């Protein structure tokens, strides 16, 4: 498979995984959830996820673990832009990441 096809496959994979970890946009906080979906799923190249999947595949890592790592990486990357604008400490970020990882356990 050529590199562009692989990256496209990784984009689809991480976007589908992100949808599993994000809250249902039709829950009570619909506006907040819509904003989360827009911020996280309005993805671009997803090269970070492609690197994670490539390395994990070469190391025979578990697919679910790779999805979780790729999702955390994408969410943290997106969140950094917003975190820098608010008083957000590392403990709060740790809680956010723990929540993401624990979803669908």
What is the percent of the chain where pLDDT is above 70? 66
Closest CA to 11 of 71, 88, 61: 71
**Mean pLDDT calculated for residue range 76-97:** 66
Between 51 and 91, the more confident residue is 51
pTM attached to this predicted model? 0.61
pLDDT on residue 82: 65
Rounded CA-CA distance 21/59 in Å is 24
Domain limits of the chain?
3-102
In this predicted structure, what is the pLDDT of residue 21? Answer: 79
pLDDT over threshold 90, residue 56: yes
Q: Which of 104 and 103 is assigned the larger pLDDT?
A: 103
């Amino acid at each position: 498979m050529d590199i562009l096809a692989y990256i496209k496959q990784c984009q689809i994979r991480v976007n589908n995984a992100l949808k599993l970890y994000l809250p249902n946009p039709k829950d009570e906080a619909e506006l907040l959830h819509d904003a989360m979906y827009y911020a996280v799923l309005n993805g671009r190249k997803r090269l970070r996820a492609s690197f994670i999947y490539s390395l994990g595949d070469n190391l025979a890592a578990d697919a679910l673990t790779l999805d979780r790592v790729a999702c955390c990486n994408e969410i943290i990357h997106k969140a950094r832009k917003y975190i820098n604008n608010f008083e957000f400490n590392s403990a709060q970020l740790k809680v956010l990441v723990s929540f993401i990882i624990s979803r669908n356990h």
